[in-house]
Each structure stands twice: as structure tokens, then as C-alpha cells.
Amino acid sequence: MRVVKSVSTMQRLARNWRRRGVRIGFVPTMGYLHAGHVSLIQRARRIAGKNGIVIVSIYVNPAQFGPAEDLSRYPRDFDRDWQLCRQAGADVIFAPNDAQMYPGQGEGRYSTYVVEERLSRSMEGQSRPTHFRGVTTIVAKLFNIVLPDAAVFGAKDFQQAAVIQRMVQDLNFPVKIVVAPTVRETDGLAMSSRNKYLDASQRPQATVLWKVIQRAKAAVKNSSRPLAAEKLRRELKAFIQRQPAARVDYIQFFDAQTFEPVRTVTGGTHIALAAFLGNTRLIDNGTL
């Protein structure tokens, strides 16, 4: 397995593979990989085929972190990531640094960003105002560098995947976007690199995100009529905040195509939520 750190080298390799008709599967990550990432890499391998190339990028993208967020302490362990990539069947790790990805940023010469203006307005876009601009910019750059036929994202970041799909559609990127199912711990907690932040008392409390999705599903299933979204939201928020370390950021019921909030909740409505467990912010989502 090869490690590439230079943008120009990665582009040259990708161009050569594309000229030869080699199929490229791509998994963009910020590293500190877990079983959820492994499932994405394995999916990319199935897409690329045994004669294709699977590329995993490992880059903690500063543009998607707000000023008060956890950029400096975001977990990193490249040696462990390398082992997991190799075991999962990756061929290349693309691991650039900030100077490669944002040349001249410190001198103010980097000034071009990609912005999606509709699906990114609510939920994560509202709580983290510059987040999606950073995500779409880095993914667009990575697509231009890696030149993938297909890129695999996880459904845990449901809004992010939708924003990227819209960007690809609107800007005519010749990339197929594959959204793979969320991988969970045995107790239901969605796998996330940030789970590492949870201490021994917070970790069991964090399962409340999954429990609240199941609670909402049960409420819809057991109701003979549509449920008022605001009333259900208040009930679920109270349920979460029974946990001593928990604080709700948002709970949203919305149409999964338009991302517009809905006033009534029925089967097929999507729920997304974000909550803090201590200082750790976690997200989850599901279809009711």
C-alpha cells in the first residue's frame, strides 16, 4: 500500500490510472479510523473491483472547523489508520498537509471556496455556520486530485452526504456518490472518531441518541394519526436531557429530499439530532 503526500503526485497517478481505464474508488476521511470507515473502504473495493484502485484520503480539514471547535485536539493516529486501510483493502493513502491543500493560506492568497446554498442551511449548517463551506470545498478539491469514478460516504453524516450529492449534480462532477449505512456499536451508538472523547460516565449516556430515534419510531408506529413535530420534539428533548451529561443542540424532523422541516411527523419522515455529552458533540439520524 502506497502513501502519497503530494497533490501533484496524486494527480499524476490518478491521471495515469484513468488513462489506462483503471476504476478508482475513493473514501475521504479525517483519519482516526474505526469499523465504520473500514466498511466504507470495503464498499469502495467492491465498487472498484479487484483490478481497480481504492484510495483513502486522511486529512483533518481546518476549513470545516469553527473557531471554537476541536481542530487542535481532533484525534490522530496515522500508524493505526495505515494498518486499518491495509487490512480493509486500500491501495493508496493520500495524506496531504495544509500547505498542500491550501497553498498560501497563511499569506491570504487562498480565497476560493465552494458553497451549497439550500440543503446546507439547516441543522448542521445552522449550528456550524462555516462547516459545509469547508466540506464542499475540500471534497471538490479531493475529487479534482483523486479523480474517482465513485466516492463512498457514510449515512451517519446524512446532511453532509446530501450536500455533496447536490454539489456533484450541480457542478457536473463525473463521480458516483455512494452512501453506505451507518455502522453502530453493539449498544446502538453510531461509530464516530469523536466517541474517543467520551469518558467512562459519558459513554453509556451517549446511547441516548440512538434510543431517542427508536423512541420516535415507536411513537409514529403506535399513532393512528400524524404527530405534531413540535410536541414530539419537546418530548424527545426532555428524554435526552434526563442524562446528566447531555445537552441538546437540535432535533429536526424534515423531508429527506428538500431538507425542509415538517410540521407533522409520519412514517418516512426523517429525524436528525445533535447533542453534547459533556464537551463532546455527537450527531445521529434515521428514518421514522
- Supply the pLDDT for residue 68: 84
| Residue 248 pLDDT greater than 70, yes or no | yes
Span 190-213, average pLDDT: 97
Span 78-87, average pLDDT: 98
| Residue 255 pLDDT greater than 80, yes or no | yes
Bigger pLDDT: 104 or 189? 189
For residue range 112-144, list pLDDT tens digits in order. 999 999 999 999 999 999 999 999 999 999 999
Tell me which residues are annotated as active site. Answer: 37
Q: What are the residue boundaries of the structural domains of the chain, listed by start?
A: 2-180, 193-287
| Residue 27 pLDDT greater than 80, yes or no | yes
Bigger pLDDT: 104 or 225? 225
The DSSP code sequence of 17-79 is HHHTT--EEEEEE-S---HHHHHHHHHHHHHH-TTSEEEEEE---GGGS-TTSSTTT----HH
pLDDT band at 90 (very low <50, low <70, confident <90, very high): very high
- Supply the pLDDT for residue 94: 98
- Does 2-180 carry CATH code 3.40.190.290? no
* pTM exceeding the 0.85 threshold for the entire prediction: yes
Could you say which of 3.30.1300.10, 3.30.1950.10, 3.30.590.10, 3.40.50.150 is the CATH number of the domain covering 193-287?
3.30.1300.10
Q: Which residues of 188-225 are buried (b: 16+ CB within 10 A; e: fewer)?
A: ebbbbbbbebbeeebbebbbbbbbbbeebeeebeeeee
- Supply the pLDDT for residue 108: 66
- Supply the pLDDT for residue 104: 78
The reply to whether 193-287 shares the fold of 2-180 is: no
For residue range 139-190, list pLDDT tens digits in order. 999 999 999 999 999 999 999 999 999 999 999 999 999 999 999 999 999 9
